[in-house]
Structure 1
Amino acid sequence: MLTYGTVQPGRRPSAADEAHALLVRLLRRAAEVGRLRTPVEQATAVARHHRRAPPETSMR
């Protein structure tokens, strides 16, 4: 899931809360049918704090 917008320090955009709620619902459904190997809370915590790795650079 990708969201974007204007970031203001100390303030969480409502879109981020909505996206997180959607992710929780989708992961709960996956857990209900046995498709999730970790608790929903742990999976959403990982997703919430994941940062994208910088792109690799080539020296060729």
Structure 2
Amino acid sequence: MQIDNNRLLNMDEASSLLGIKKNTLYQMVMRREIAVVKIGKLNRFRPEDLQAFINENLTERI
């Protein structure tokens, strides 16, 4: 997926980028495990925040 770092991603795009279900992403937002931009009732995601989340959750291969 090609990501434009100048625009916010919606729930579908962010869950696709992370490879998780939309419901799982929503639960992570509610538990404040992942950064979200609230626009009214809408959740939007900055690509750099999603990349930071990925980097923070990397584990070393054994």
Q: Between Structure 1 and Structure 2, which shows a larger proportion of strand residues? A: 2
Q: Could you say which structure has the greater relative contact order, defined with CA pairs below 8 angstroms and 6 or more residues apart?
A: 2
From the CA coordinates, give the structure whose radius of gyration is larger.
1
Taking structure 2 as the reference length, the TM-score comes to 0.28
